[in-house]
Structure 1
Amino acid sequence: MNKAISAHELNIDLQGGEETALFKWLLASFLMGKRIQGAIAAKAYQVIVEQHQRDTPQKLAHCSHRQLVVMLGQAHYVRYDESTASRLLALAHKLNAEYDGKIGNIVEASADRQAFEKRLGEFEGIGPKTVEIFMREAAAVLF
């Protein structure tokens, strides 16, 4: 079993509940929620967010599928690179289109934590594991 990688280890400060930090943690949780080694998922996060500065849903949505596949490849996140690239783009587009690019707007649209988790699960590629990873640290600042 991989040791859980925390937001802090990825230099994500969730304390203020700031949108960019929440999005970065959602992105990291998304990558770690797949059946892939935690270190590789963390590296993929670093390549996408730190190296290529895709740290908002707007910036991520402006990537091409090919660019994302290349970024994932840089991190050796290769087993699911094509599907992950598609799902990351779908995540960014849905977040932008339905929630104005803000995780806080998902919270506002949800009656409670359970409703929020259900809405998160409606994003393509976000399953129970990703929700669990994200909520492990985000719940304290969101609810």
Structure 2
Amino acid sequence: MSTIISAQDLHIDLEGANEAGLFKWLLASFLMGKRIQGAIAAKAYQVIVEQHQCDTPQKIAHRTHRQLVVMLGQAHYVRYDETTASRLLALAKKLNGDYGGKVSNIVAASADRQALEKRLTEFEGVGPKTVEIFMREAAVVLYRPSTGASKN
């Protein structure tokens, strides 16, 4: 049985649906959404974000495929390292190009939660599992009536 890793476990602050937290949680969800042990995915997140300071889609987009493969390898995220590196670059490129580098712009462009989930699956390598992981915690801050950010 696998342990559920939360945003809090990774020291990701989602309060107020802040941009930095949303991107970091999307990145972590993306890594955890693959058929790989949660602990390895969490370590990959830490290597990429904490050790290599790739905490924005702009910073990821400025890395080479090889640099991302090396980062994933440092975390022993080796089963899918090549495809994951390619998909991380594609995610950063699409997020930067289509949404100004902001997860909050994906939210703003979506009429409701269902539309947001559909937009997320338009990113290469983002499937139902990644969306499920991301929405498990992001939905709480994105669709909380008291924040004024509710899109229900």
> TM class by shorter-chain length?
over 0.9
- Show the 5 A alignment for 1:62-101: 62-101=62-101
The superposition leaves residues 106-129 of structure 1 with CA deviations (integer Å, 9 ceiling, x where unpaired) of 111111000000000000000000
The Cα shift of 1:39 comes to: 0.3
Please name the residue that 1:113 is paired with. 113
TM-score, normalization by structure 2: 0.93
Give the fraction of aligned pairs with identical amino acids, expressed as a percent: 80
> How large is the Cα RMSD of the aligned pairs?
0.5
- Show the 5 A alignment for 1:1-143: 1-143=1-143
What residue ranges of structure 1 are gaps of 5+ in the alignment? none
How far apart in 1 are the matches of 2:80 and 2:30? 12
Q: Give the number of aligned pairs.
A: 143
Match of 2:26, SS? helix
The Cα shift of 1:99 comes to: 0.2
- Read off the aligned partner of 1:3 and give its amino acid letter: T
Match of 2:15, SS? coil
- Read off the aligned partner of 2:46 and give its amino acid letter: Q
How far apart in 1 are the matches of 2:41 and 2:131? 16
What residue ranges of structure 2 are gaps of 5+ in the alignment? 144-152
The Cα shift of 1:5 comes to: 0.1
Larger Rg: 2
The superposition leaves residues 9-56 of structure 1 with CA deviations (integer Å, 9 ceiling, x where unpaired) of 000010121101100000000000000000000000000000000000
The superposition leaves residues 85-141 of structure 1 with CA deviations (integer Å, 9 ceiling, x where unpaired) of 000000000000000011111111111000000000000000000000000000011
- Read off the aligned partner of 1:109 and give its amino acid letter: A
TM-score, normalization by structure 1: 0.99
Deviant stretches of 4+, over 4 Å: none
How far apart in 1 are the matches of 2:129 and 2:89? 19
The Cα shift of 1:82 comes to: 0.1
- Read off the aligned partner of 2:6 and give its amino acid letter: S
The Cα shift of 1:142 comes to: 1.3
How far apart in 1 are the matches of 2:84 and 2:2? 20
